[in-house]
Amino acid sequence: MSTVNRRVLPGFGLSLGYTMFYLSLLVLIPLAACFWKAAELSWADFWEAVATPRAIAAYRLTFTASITAAAVNVVLGLIVAWTLVRYEFPGKRLVDALVDIPFALPTAVAGMIYANVYMPNGWLGQFLVPLGIEAAFSRTGIVVVLIFTGFPFVVRTVQPVLEDLDAETEEAAGVLGANRWQTFRRVILPSLIPPTLTGFTLAFARAVGEYGSVVFISPNTPGTEIAPMLILALHLESAQRESAASEAAAIAVVLLVASFTLLILINLLERWSQRHAQ
């Protein structure tokens, strides 16, 4: 009697073909074009383009601000997700809906609003600037808008896990004499580490590639610009200087490789935490 090899989904070959086609069209081909454009430079010219003081300052600001914003979002996201899952209060549905506002609001609009609010004569700036806190047109402002754009990722990755936690396990820990902190640290926290790392990764990746909101609140001067802004500046220079486009592609390659390496390391850490939790 012959055994029929049944697929979970019909038309697997056709579906896989469409998947690879659109993945190549939307992701692989543009990335290959970026590497190809950068390859027009010799190794010496490539290194000279990606290692200028302006480029190094852009890398440093981009990754420092992105990691800082993602770390802050981990704390805020855990608090908000915990509040939405564990408590009932008036306006809970409204608060839950507001979490997704950064997904729907154009980031350029967010950057413009934050810049106006934190200007010396803005709603908040008029109180913060006299205290020495300058968020508009500063590095602090860049971190603030990156926190805004990445905020939903941690909430939406942690929230379903909190909802699925077994309440009986927590009750059993309490019956065995564990206090609230011990219950959280030994019962709840191990389950939250993998989704928290996932949320951190998503928020970090979102921050590294952010441009629209940052351009309105950044000083936009050499040394205080993020890498995407430097890439755009070089691309605009290509009308007067032909090699500028290749230099922009070279910086994009460095940013891509560095981001991809960090994401791999974070994913490996996430998998390790999942195995450790089990």
Instruction: Decide if 266 is inside a domain.
Output: yes
Instruction: Decide if 159 is inside a domain.
Output: yes
Nearest CA to 208 out of 82, 102, 20, 58 is that of 58
Q: What is the pTM of this model?
A: 0.83
Give the list of residues 6+ apart from residue 233 with CB closer than 8 angstroms, or none. 225
CATH number at residue 153: 1.10.3720.10
Instruction: Decide if 28 is inside a domain.
Output: no
The count of structural domains within the chain is: 1
Instruction: Decide if 85 is inside a domain.
Output: yes
Tell me the residue type at 98.
Answer: L
Instruction: Decide if 3 is inside a domain.
Output: no
Instruction: Decide if 235 is inside a domain.
Output: yes
Q: What is the 3-state secondary structure (H, E, C) of the chain?
A: CCCCCCCCCCCHHHHHHHHHHHHHHHHHHHHHHHHHHHCCCCHHHHHHHHCCHHHHHHHHHHHHHHHHHHHHHHHHHHHHHHHHHHCCCCCHHHHHHHCCHHHHCCHHHHHHHHHHHHCCCCCCHHHHHHHCCCCCCCHHHHHHHHHHHHHHHHHHHHHHHHHHCCHHHHHHHHHCCCCHHHHHHHHHHHHHHHHHHHHHHHHHHHHHCCCCCHHHHCCCCCCCCCHHHHHHHHHHHCCCCCHHHHHHHHHHHHHHHHHHHHHHHHHHHHHHHHHHHC
**8 Å CB contact between 181 and 189:** no
Range of the structural domain that residue 136 is part of: 43-277
The sign one gets for the Cα dihedral 120, 122, 124, 126 is positive
Instruction: Decide if 95 is inside a domain.
Output: yes
Instruction: Decide if 260 is inside a domain.
Output: yes
pLDDT tens digit sequence for 30-85: 888 888 988 888 888 889 889 889 899 999 999 999 999 999 999 999 999 999 98
Residue 268 has a CB neighbour count (10 Å cut-off) of: 10
pLDDT tens by residue, the chain, 278 residues? 445 555 555 666 777 777 888 888 887 888 888 889 888 888 888 898 898 898 999 999 999 999 999 999 999 999 999 999 888 889 889 999 999 998 888 888 888 888 888 888 888 888 888 888 888 888 888 999 999 999 999 999 999 988 887 766 666 766 666 667 777 777 777 788 888 988 998 899 889 888 888 888 888 777 788 888 888 888 888 777 778 888 889 999 988 888 888 878 877 877 776 676 55
Two tokens, residue 228: 């995407």
Tell me which residue has tokens 């608060």: 95
